[in-house]
Amino acid sequence: MGLFRLVTGLPGPSGFGSASTGEQVTDGMDASHLTVVITGGASGIGAETARVFALRGAHVIIAARNMEAADDVKQLILQTTPLARVDVLKLDLSSLKSVRAFADQFLAMDLPLNILINNAGVMFCPFQLSEDGIELQFATNHLGHFLLTNLLLERMKSTAKETGIEGRIVNLSSIAHLLHRYEEVIRFDRLNDKDTYSDKKAYGQSKLANILHANELSRRLQEEGANITVNSIHPGLIMTNLMRHSFLQMWLLKLFTYVFWKTVPQGAATTCYVALHPSLKGVTGKYFIDCNEEMPSYWAKDETLAKKLWDLSEKLAQSTK
């Protein structure tokens, strides 16, 4: 990702760049035959992603912790797209009980599932444990999405098989996986170590886990020949509610680095591009920034680390049943 291209918004090989918006990268596309689940669709780039998919005709399922905010997003979408198909379901990713309840509710609706966008997250939180006793950023950003994806995967496989339409899973990661790292990379044996906890390193760890999860799932699906791709993205620097734990710090950062920041519509572009654009048919296990494929960190490409993380995630998810 060249700094010149990032600052100027000049398009990359895909024809899009940092200045592109979700509407622009999906211009002319018909998604009326698709059903998409978007976690964290009640605010920020999740809400904008939901709006763009609804605009393109998709059946949008907004999965959100704050149901009032999610309903507000639904009403705003309907004001501009009266025929939009939007449903709102409760999902708290920090609670594996809530993840299972959401999956049960969605599957009971007997809908197809073409696209899963693992968008929701928390950022730079003070040390907290989830209700399942797991460090909150790891629990919310990675483990909740890991379990959710596993619970919805068979529905995605059957939808892809029955319709012949490629399924797509998009994990929202962050460039923070390059910038903030514990010495152990993933703290397999010290996830809940309060004494050495760092809010930024814990966030970077969870965002690295998003990429490792996508890569390992991509490898497994390719092995079994499933018609589903899995990719991860960095949406860019956007001032949203995600930064509520570090608002002043981020505001000061933005003051001095404003040329690198995006609007919310621009922040949703890479998600929409990777989830919907026909040029990415069959592309899987990749990492995207500004709607173009980029190279993630060395650790993000480590297959042994990805498999070890998968095993830990399965163990943690099963221990909370």
DSSP letter string, 16-57: --TT--HHHHTTT---TT-EEEEETTTSHHHHHHHHHHHHTT
Return the pLDDT at 238. Answer: 74
Question: Which is it for strands 287-289 and 292-294: parallel, antiparallel or unpaired?
Answer: antiparallel
Q: For the chain, what is the radius of gyration of the CA atoms?
A: 18
**At what angle are helices 303-319 and 199-224 packed, to 10 degrees?**
100
Q: Which of 197, 203, 273, 287 is catalytic?
A: 197
Q: Which residues of 279-299 are buried (b: 16+ CB within 10 A; e: fewer)?
A: ebeebbbbbbbbbbeeebbeb
Residue 141's pLDDT is what? 98
Written as six digits, the tokens of 295 are 């190279």
> DSSP 3-state assignment of 150?
helix
Helix (H) or strand (E) holding 118: strand 115-118
Question: Which portions of the chain are predicted below pLDDT 50?
Answer: 243, 245-246, 254-256, 258-259
Distances (CA, A) of 98 to 46, 210, 320: 19, 20, 12
Region label for 225, one of left (φ > 0), alpha (ψ between -120 and 50) or beta (otherwise): left
pLDDT recorded at residue 158: 98
197 is catalytic: yes
Residue 180's pLDDT is 79
Q: How far apart are CA 316 and CA 252, in angstroms?
A: 38
Alpha-carbon distance values, 138 to 39, 134, 146, 246, 254 (Å): 16, 7, 11, 18, 26
Q: Residue 245: what pLDDT?
A: 46
Residue 241 gets which letter from DSSP?
G
- Structural domain of 85: 3-319
**Contact present, 6 and 237 (Cβ < 8 Å):** no
For residues 165 and 34, the answer to whether their CB atoms sit within 8 Å is yes
Look at the chain and count its residues.
321
Q: What was the pLDDT predicted at 239?
A: 55
SS3 for 209-229, per residue? Answer: HHHHHHHHHHHHHHHHCCCEE
User: Which pLDDT belongs to residue 241?
Assistant: 53
pLDDT confidence of residue 9: 61
User: Can you give the CATH number for the domain in which 70 is found?
Assistant: 3.40.50.720
DSSP state of 263: -
pLDDT at 111: 98
In the chain, the N- to C-terminal Cα span, in Å, equals 42
Whole-number pLDDT of residue 237: 79
Count of domains in the chain?
Answer: 1
Closest CA to 61 of 122, 121, 102, 29: 102
Three-state SS for 116? Answer: strand
* Nearest-angstrom CA–CA distance, 291 and 136: 29
What's the rounded Cα separation, in Å, for the pair 268 and 293? Answer: 16
203 in Cβ contact with 124 (< 8 Å): yes
